[in-house]
């Protein structure tokens, strides 16, 4: 079957028309190079975040204080491996292999979410990460179920379904601890104090300083601006904090009747920049852990390939 190659302008117009009617772009469709690059960068960064994100909580699986909590935490961290896998698969539909992406992560050429460069210092952090970090992630991710790239949207639907247990288990852990001893309540408040600001930073820099955002939104890769999502998160979280009986560590946090939203203080953007640059508390440790797992596993992956090749030859 032969078809006349379409003119670049016609292809571009067809692409723009698909985006305009909120239809999905699928892997073998023509797409502008910049769209493809932006997608790969965003999906890969998201995938890396899931994989690196296994570590801060994973560190507590061995020390979980009840068998029930151990099972919950292990299932949760395992889900994160799954989420990374789904997102790497979405990248692979654009012809970038998981091995290449792993290489880009391990050589520092692609980033992951800054939040995972903060340490986890107590078991309450498992709860706080579920409540605040996963809560912030859900704010970011739910709109992405409608993202313009089909495989990305489908991966996000699956992820969001699974993720709904993550936030709830975290909040439930904190609620249970708040009904426990004074020491446990203090542990919860201390943990919330440490994670509140980093959680706000998860939405990225303010819109004015977020150079790629506008184009990503025009293409329907991103559906809401950083500041919109941050506001939504704060408004969602304040009543949850009240129900829990913890204080959010921001003296400027108050309801603004006129805006119909909470006002809140400015996160320390210098700190975010430093963490992204690689100067966060745990950057080196996270990368070393990932690199070790990858390198220690090389002989296993090779052995399975060799075995499959021999079996295939027989």
Site residues for another protein, window 171-230 (CB under 8 A)? Answer: 173, 176-177, 179-181, 183-184
Residue 10 makes contact with another protein by CB under 8 A: no
Which token pair is 212?
């790629």
Residues between 117 and 136 with contacts to another protein, criterion CB under 8 A: 123
Nearer to another protein, 21 or 28 (CB): 28
Residues between 26 and 55 with contacts to another protein, criterion CB under 8 A: 26, 28-30, 51, 54-55
Residue 297 makes contact with another protein by CB under 8 A: yes
Contact, 114 vs 272, CB < 8 A? yes
Q: Which of 36, 64, 143, 228 binds another protein (CB under 8 A)?
A: 64
Residue 65 makes contact with another protein by CB under 8 A: yes
Closest separation between CB of residue 58 and another protein, Å?
A: 5
Interface segment toward another protein; rule CB under 8 A; list 79-87, 224-232, 267-275, 277-285: 79-87
Residue 16 makes contact with another protein by CB under 8 A: no
Interface segment toward another protein; rule CB under 8 A; list 87-95, 110-118, 189-197, 241-249: 87-95
* 25 beta partners: 149
Any idea what the Cα angle at residue 187 is, between residues 183 and 189, rounded to 5°? 120
Interface segment toward another protein; rule CB under 8 A; list 59-67, 212-220, 221-229, 266-274: 59-67
Nearer to another protein, 21 or 259 (CB): 21
Count the site residues for another protein by CB under 8 A: 81
Residues between 146 and 165 with contacts to another protein, criterion CB under 8 A: 154-155, 157-158, 160-165
Closest separation between CB of residue 69 and another protein, Å?
A: 5
Per DSSP, the residues of the chain read ---PPPPHHHHHHHHHHHHHTTPPB-TTS---HHHHHHHHHHHHHHHHHHHHTHHHHHTTGGG-SSHHHHHHHHHHHHHHHHHHHHHHHHHHTTT--HHHHHHHHHTTSS---GGGGS---STHHHHHIIIIIHHHHHHHHGGGGG-SBHHHHHHHHHHHHHHHHHHHHHHHHHHHHHTS-HHHHHHHHHHHHHHHHHHHHTT-S-GGG-TTHHHHHHTTS--S-HHHHHHHHHHHHHHHHHHHT---S-TT-EEETTTTEEE-PPP-HHHHHHIIIIISTTHHHHHHHHHHHHHHTHHHHHHHHHHHHHHHH-
Q: Which of 132, 142, 144, 248 binds another protein (CB under 8 A)?
A: 142
Nearer to another protein, 243 or 293 (CB): 293
Closest separation between CB of residue 123 and another protein, Å?
A: 5
Residue 72 makes contact with another protein by CB under 8 A: yes
């Amino acid at each position: 079957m032969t078809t006349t190659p379409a003119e670049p302008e016609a292809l571009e117009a067809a692409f723009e028309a698909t985006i305009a009617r909120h239809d999905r772009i699928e892997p073998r469709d023509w797409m502008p190079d910049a769209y493809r690059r932006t997608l790969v960068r965003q999906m890969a960064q998201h995938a890396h975040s899931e994989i690196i994100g296994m570590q801060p909580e994973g560190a507590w699986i061995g020390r979980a204080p009840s068998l029930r909590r151990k099972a919950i935490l292990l299932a949760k961290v395992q889900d994160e491996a799954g989420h990374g896998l789904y997102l790497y698969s979405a990248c692979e539909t654009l012809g970038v292999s998981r091995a290449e992406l792993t290489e880009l992560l391990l050589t520092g050429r692609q980033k992951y979410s800054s939040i995972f460069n903060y340490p986890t210092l107590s078991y309450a952090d498992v709860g706080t990460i579920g409540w605040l970090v996963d809560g912030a992630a859900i704010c970011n991710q739910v709109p992405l179920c409608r993202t313009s790239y089909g495989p990305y949207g489908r991966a996000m639907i699956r992820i969001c379904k699974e993720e709904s247990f993550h936030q709830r288990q975290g909040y439930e852990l904190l609620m249970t601890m708040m009904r426990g001893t004074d020491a446990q309540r203090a542990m919860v408040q201390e943990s919330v104090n440490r994670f509140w600001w980093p959680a706000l930073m998860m939405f990225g820099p303010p819109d004015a300083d977020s150079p790629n955002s506008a184009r990503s939104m025009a293409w329907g890769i991103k559906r809401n601006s950083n500041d919109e999502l941050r506001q939504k998160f704060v408004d969602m979280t304040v009543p949850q904090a009240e129900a829990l009986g913890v204080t959010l560590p921001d003296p400027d946090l108050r309801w603004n009747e006129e805006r119909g939203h909470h006002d809140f203080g400015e996160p320390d953007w210098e700190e975010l920049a430093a963490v992204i640059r690689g100067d966060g508390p745990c950057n080196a440790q996270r990368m070393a852990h990932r690199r070790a797992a990858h390198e220690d596993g090389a002989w296993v992956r090779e052995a399975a390939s060799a075995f499959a090749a021999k079996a295939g030859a027989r």
